[in-house]
Amino acid sequence: MRAGDGVREVGFDGIVHLDTPHSFIPQGDSVWEMGVNADPLRKANGDYRTRTDKPLTVTPAETTFVFVTPRRWPEKGEWIQRRLAENVWRDVRVLDADDLESWLSTAPAVDTWLAPLVGHLTVGVSTVEQFWSQWSEATNPPFTPEVLTVGWKDDPVSTLRTFLAAEPGARGLSGESPQMAEAFIAATLMAWPGVEGEQVRARTLFVGQESAWTNAVVQGKSSILVPLFPQRSHVTSAVHQGHHVLVPLGRRDGSIRQVIVLSRQQRRVLREALVRMGVPETQLESLATLGRRSLLALRRRLAHLEAVHTPPWAGQNLVAPMLAGAWIDTQSGDQQALAQLAGEQDYAAVQRAVIGLAQQNEPPLRRTGSSWLLTSKEDAWTLLAPTLMEANLNRLVNVVQTVLGTVDPALALPAEQRPMAALYGKVHPYSELLREELADTLALMGARSADTSWYLLESPQTYVDQIVRSLLSTRTTDAWTSLAPAFPQLAEAAPDVFLTAVEQALASGTPSLVDLFQDAKSQVFGHSSPHIFLLLALEGLAWLPTFFSRATLLLGRLSDLDPGGQTLNRPSNSLAEVFSPWLRNTDVGVADKLRGVDVLREQLPDVGWRLMLALVVTDGVSGRTRTPNWRDWGQDLPWQLPEEQIIEMLAEIRNRLLQDAGGCSDRLLGLLQEYRHFDPLQQDTLCQAIHTAAQAPDAQTVIWEALREFVASQYEFPTAHWAITGGPLQKLEQLRDQLQPTDVIAKNKWVFSQSPTLGLQTHPIDFGKHHELWMQAQTTAVADVLASAQADGIQSLLENSDPSAAQAIGQAVGRLPHTLFNDPQSLLTFIQTSPQGAGFAAGLLLAWRFSQRRKEITALLTRPEFTARAAAEQAFLLQALPADTETWSLVQSLGGEVAQAYWQQVSVFEVGRESTEAAEEAYRQFRTYEQHTTAFYLAQLRSLDLPGHEWLSLLEAFEEQDAAFVRDQAHHIRELLEELAERTDVDQSKLAQTAWAYLPLYGYSQAPAALNQALLADPELYATIFLTAFPGAAGQSDEDQEGKKRRERAAHLLWMLRGVPGTANGQLPDEATLHAWYTAVQARLKAQDRGRIGDSQIGQLLATAPAQDGQWPPPVVCTLIEFAKSEALEDGFRLGRYNLRGGTNRDLDSGGDLERELVAQYQQQAQTVEARWPRTAQCLRELAQMYEQEARRHDDDAELTQDRWT
């Protein structure tokens, strides 16, 4: 359809194709002409003749001609009949003023839009587009429909669409307030896609006045009406007139029976919508959390004017909840704190007040489980803070000092027990939620102190300073450890007071600060330490130029004191991130950063040096530091710093590094890693400084070796991003050549170090080729040494090399064709006079072995001069021979001591290669000389087929011999035990005893199969193990350490058992077998007064039963439950099944969905067994109830997590 000036263009005014029938638009193809002339007949005739003569692209016989006039035309029918008689067009129609009026009654939104354009104002009525435009554009950025329609539980969008597609009716839509419900309706309709959405919007009116409602009902047809006024008595009449009515409701409304409820949005989904809405990344996390709590509060936060909407609770008494922020309703300490904040005697009065507030429209408080929290703390402070009086703040001072000043009782426990403090009754009297939120309240008070209108004698900052100063005045380790989680908020609340307290603590030498570093040792549940919170606090203060110097100097001093630990959060890392040349982690500029670096260089030189190195060698890798929650430090600025600032900062740091390196060779060599980033002048300065440092006594060789290694790495890895080429590399090569030692030992010993860089490119990396080139370099080196100084040179090379290099030096000499060491007497003399002689000789002989000189090695080692040496040394040299049967015969001929030493030293990877028989012989020798662990390795390595009794003998032998080996081989030992349980050549009773010895290796997995089978088959054995685990108080009173270990092992075994007693060959037992087992066990247990606890344990075992023919529990278990009629057994059955589930993985916002699946499963199982086994059915129903409760707990946790996400 043409619009505006388009109606003046050549061609039809409109061309329409419609597939479905319509009251006013012809089905199929139609062409449209329109005119506003006073004489519609003349206009219609003219247009008809023109289009009939020139139909352009359409075929008249297949097309309807439509003429539209806003005039009344009583004769239109006669005109239509005359045109139809011409039989040119498929059909001819006319729409005049009466037809248009009828059409507008079916599209009230169009009618409302059109009315003011033709001079008729429609008071109290607006279209969807008009309503949404007014609502969404009140904010910056404007709200999008997506933000209001995504992430809701139970999909209210689909429910609303389904309702509108059904027969006329009324439906309530309940949100946090009627205004929220109104906005949701508008957003849903705006987001409805396609033609269907356009049609729905055209039918919809938002009616703001009761006086306009009647006209909307009477004049419209099949409309969608949304009343915005409170009186809803006319809803029924509108439905009778054929309209859909959507009634917006709030928390206290309930006049509509059928209601679509807006519960809570998923934070993750809402966050994604806010990203697309255009919310800045710096505000995204906090605004997503706020929006999940209240979209109206989010709208106020983003409003162009904060007074865009004042909530109904703005004038009510919300002071105590506002100051607390959040608390746990069921924790007595929290109750006392809230009562004290409110000035009440007990918590009941506070509870009544908050429940009333939570039931209001757009409630200021939300309850999740037992947790109460403000919907929007900032909202509450903006609207209510000016009403605070001195009495309120005095109560706050007392409460915060009590709550945050209480030392955590868990600190009285050893560190390894603290994660389980609740089990020991060491629980903090105040919830973590209350402690966190009170600290956050202080931060907010401090941040808003200067820009809020207060009616107080003293500013709120004065109160905050008083609280923080008092809290930090107790400088004991426990006090600061307990307070540490609040450090970031306290620093934000009172920056100057916090910095002064930390400075005084450092100056006084009190141990409280250093003692905050508590991550040096491994911890049970990961690594953490209170010092992390101190670092976060100082990072936050470093954002502001006023505190930058003090905060960074404190980080420097902490870095100097840092004892090291397991976490990555170290003071040195915080320093490097604050000073980052790439990321904006402070609001100070480059000049101030450099002044901060200079302060550290002057006062803490080593810290300053490490900081500068960290800044230049990270290649732009850096992290973000903590930004304050409430102060606007570091807000609304790009994280990435401008390139010119990065270049300036790095250049200045490099200059300072060159200055501070001085003549220290370690520092200068450390700067080689940054060499590629230096400009040519800086490179020359560094080379000259290294050359000068090399003139110091004993420095040249060390510096040359480092230079050689560095230059070689550039050639070995030329494509690496750090590789140096061209002129800069040539400078280093020249320096290396200038400093090369003239001493033959000094210039060659490097090649015998561990994995030296050769400077020879083998790309792609060929390790075999690289090793070959390394061997060649070693051979060339010893040839150079021998040519210069003969045996004395080799001796000097050995003395100046690492002891581990002796064999490599010997192998290199052995590869040479003619040396003085080919003479046995010379070699013997060398061995006798050199401390590293034996290692050298072993290497030399090994080289001979590779040169097929076995006879020479054998002849040498059997000379009297060698056989007279110590057995251990002979055995060591014998390793040069192949580990085969010929060598083993020689070993045996040299005597028992040599054989013992040989089989202790020989490598398991060398033996048994030639044949299975050789491997079996080696195995026997290892067993003979009591090398049981090596024998086990060999049997595994060569896959020896040992008889069952031999495996058992081996397991028994090294269980006592080498505990470390047993731990290392735990996996293989467990596999072997399970394999033996399937074999028929093994005494299963003896195997069960062996498995008992290795039980600790199984950890928390299923019991060893042999033990599991034995206990399920033998009620006497089960009872014996049970009474070992649960002997009663009398049995424990006089037990020794071994007795305690047996008791704990037996208890653990009972926990590990799986299956149904009496199970044989994988088949469940019959009722008689199971009942007999149960009766026999209970007879022994009851005799020792352990029957009840025995039933509980048996119940847990029965819970592990497999399903049978798709039924769980299997019938035999159900029958025993009915037979026993034992509450203890049933309790154990439920507990065992519950504990079998183990851990779960879930999204933070998924709640208890997994548990609800189990609820449905157990309820269905209860229905299946109820008729025959009612006690079992009751157990299953109670299991379902347990998971229902757990589901609610997970729901609460997910809600709270999303509500507090920052």
What pLDDT does residue 524 have?
A: 46
User: Do both 70 and 206 map to the same domain?
Assistant: no
Contact indicator for 261, 160 with CB cutoff of 8 Å: no
Instruction: Specify the DSSP class assigned to residue 1001.
Output: G
Determine, yes or no, domain membership for 692.
Answer: no
What pLDDT does residue 785 have?
A: 92
Lowest mean pLDDT among 14-18, 51-55, 733-737, 757-761: 757-761
Determine, yes or no, domain membership for 1140.
Answer: no
Residues with Cβ within 8 Å of residue 156, at least 6 apart in sequence: 173, 184, 260, 261, 262
Determine, yes or no, domain membership for 584.
Answer: no
Domain end, chosen from 79, 100, 121, is at 100
What average pLDDT score do residues 288-307 get? 85
pLDDT in tens, 23-41: 889 999 999 999 888 899 9
Cβ burial, residue 121 (10 Å; 0-12/13-18/19+)? exposed
What pLDDT does residue 396 have?
A: 95
Domain end, chosen from 100, 123, 140, is at 100
Q: Are strands 170-174 and 365-368 parallel, antiparallel or unpaired?
A: unpaired
Place of tokens 């030096």: 809
User: Do both 136 and 261 map to the same domain?
Assistant: yes
Task: For residue 1075, name the pLDDT band (cuts at 50, 70, 90).
Answer: very high
Largest CA distance in the chain: 140
Token pair in block for residue 961: 């011999």
What average pLDDT score do residues 438-448 get? 94
Domain end, chosen from 226, 247, 274, is at 274
pLDDT in tens, 883-898: 999 999 999 999 999 9
User: Do both 84 and 117 map to the same domain?
Assistant: no
Determine, yes or no, domain membership for 353.
Answer: no
Contact indicator for 69, 94 with CB cutoff of 8 Å: yes
Does residue 619 register a pLDDT over 80?
no
Q: How many domains are there within the chain? A: 2
User: Do both 117 and 249 map to the same domain?
Assistant: yes
Token pair in block for residue 840: 């050298």
Give the whole-angstrom CA distance, residue 1195 versus residue 27. 53
Contact indicator for 232, 255 with CB cutoff of 8 Å: yes
Q: Is 931 helix (H, G, I), strand (E, B) or coil?
A: coil
Give the whole-angstrom CA distance, residue 938 versus residue 961. 17
Lowest mean pLDDT among 111-120, 334-343, 519-528, 644-653: 519-528
Does residue 1033 register a pLDDT over 70?
no
Tally of CB atoms within 10 A around 579: 26
Concatenate the DSSP letters of all residues of 849-905 into one string.
HHTT-HHHHHHHHTSHHHHTS-HHHHHHHHTTS-SSHHHHHHHHHT-HHHHHHHHHH
Contact indicator for 478, 411 with CB cutoff of 8 Å: yes
What average pLDDT score do residues 832-848 get? 86
Task: For residue 835, name the pLDDT band (cuts at 50, 70, 90).
Answer: confident
The alpha carbon of 469 is separated from its chain's Cα centroid by a whole number of angstroms, namely 36
User: Do both 53 and 195 map to the same domain?
Assistant: no
pLDDT in tens, 1175-1205: 999 999 999 999 999 999 999 988 888 888 8
User: Do both 136 and 270 map to the same domain?
Assistant: yes
Determine, yes or no, domain membership for 123.
Answer: yes
User: Do both 73 and 216 map to the same domain?
Assistant: no
Does residue 106 register a pLDDT over 80?
no
What pLDDT does residue 638 have?
A: 81
Q: Are strands 224-227 and 244-249 parallel, antiparallel or unpaired?
A: parallel
Q: Give the domain range for residue 54.
A: 4-100
> What percentage of the chain exceeds 90 in pLDDT?
62
Q: What is the mean pLDDT of the chain?
A: 89
Task: For residue 1028, name the pLDDT band (cuts at 50, 70, 90).
Answer: very high
User: What are the C-alpha distances in Å from 267 to residues 116, 182, 264, 278, 1199?
Assistant: 42, 21, 9, 16, 9
Contact indicator for 877, 845 with CB cutoff of 8 Å: yes
Does residue 1174 register a pLDDT over 90?
yes
Region class of 624: left (phi > 0), else alpha (psi between -120 and 50), else beta: beta
Higher pLDDT, 355 or 566: 355
What pLDDT does residue 914 have?
A: 85
What average pLDDT score do residues 711-739 get? 91
Residue of 671, 744, 665, 734 whose CA lies nearest to 697: 665
Give the whole-angstrom CA distance, residue 1121 versus residue 1107. 16
Determine, yes or no, domain membership for 196.
Answer: yes
Place of tokens 């806010």: 274
User: What are the C-alpha distances in Å from 169 to residues 240, 241, 471?
Assistant: 8, 10, 62
User: Do both 136 and 243 map to the same domain?
Assistant: yes
Does residue 304 register a pLDDT over 70?
yes
User: Do both 91 and 153 map to the same domain?
Assistant: no
Q: Is 1008 helix (H, G, I), strand (E, B) or coil?
A: coil
Task: For residue 667, name the pLDDT band (cuts at 50, 70, 90).
Answer: very high
Identity of the residue numbered 1002 = Y
User: Do both 138 and 43 map to the same domain?
Assistant: no
User: Do both 94 and 62 map to the same domain?
Assistant: yes
Determine, yes or no, domain membership for 450.
Answer: no
Determine, yes or no, domain membership for 182.
Answer: yes
**DSSP β-bridge partners for residue 265:** 152
Please tell me the number of Cα atoms within 13 Å of 114 on its side-chain side: 11
Region class of 604: left (phi > 0), else alpha (psi between -120 and 50), else beta: beta
What average pLDDT score do residues 377-403 get? 90
Contact indicator for 513, 560 with CB cutoff of 8 Å: no
pLDDT in tens, 468-489: 999 999 888 999 999 999 999 9
What pLDDT does residue 525 have?
A: 43
User: Do both 76 and 121 map to the same domain?
Assistant: no
b/e code 934-959 from CB counts within 10 Å (16+ = b): bbbbbbeebebeeebeebbebbebbb
Lowest mean pLDDT among 72-86, 222-236, 730-744, 924-938: 222-236
Give the whole-angstrom CA distance, residue 998 versus residue 1008. 9
